[in-house]
A = this chain, B = another copy of it.
Amino acid sequence: MVAFARDFDPQPFHLDDAAAGASFFGRLIASGWYTAALTMRMLTDAQLDISGGLIGAGTESLRWPTPLVPGDTIHLRADVLDVRPSRSRPEIGIVRVRLQTLRDDGSAVQEMIASLVVPRR
């Protein structure tokens, strides 16, 4: 968590316990982008049977309701919201998924709605 922050989000509240204690958050927290990266890893590990792989076109919303902190245990919940042909490219389809990154008590560290690109039959 701290190594990721050192590379990509080197702010005091992501790097150092003492500096984090004096910050807005009052404690060391993960970069939201680390939470996003872990979420992607859980999604690839889930080995969903999506043709062509997990190709993200983007997200229409991405929120970090509470920050990920040391000691948290998280899992991923994925719900397919809808599946439709692309308007501009007939050979592909768009799968909208809600991805919730949750602690065991159900509280969320990340919630997003993402669009995946898939080849059509």
Asked if A62 and B59 sit within 8 Å, CB to CB, the answer is yes
Report if A21 contacts B (CB, 8 A).
no
Instruction: Give the complex CA separation of A24 and B57 in angstroms.
Output: 13
The interface of chain A, by Cβ under 8 A from chain B, is 4, 7-13, 23-24, 31-33, 36-38, 40-41, 44, 52-64, 117, 119
* Chain B residues in 8 Å Cβ range of A61: 58-61
Residue of B nearest to A38 (CB): B8
If A59-B59, A59-B61, A117-B24 touch, whether A9 touches B40 (CB-CB below 8 Å) is yes
Residue of B nearest to A37 (CB): B8
Could you list some 29 contacts between A and B, CB below 8 A? A4-B37, A7-B41, A8-B37, A8-B38, A8-B41, A9-B37, A9-B44, A10-B41, A11-B53, A11-B54, A12-B53, A13-B53, A23-B52, A24-B52, A24-B53, A24-B117, A24-B119, A32-B56, A32-B58, A33-B37, A33-B40, A37-B37, A57-B63, A57-B64, A58-B61, A58-B64, A60-B61, A61-B61, A62-B62
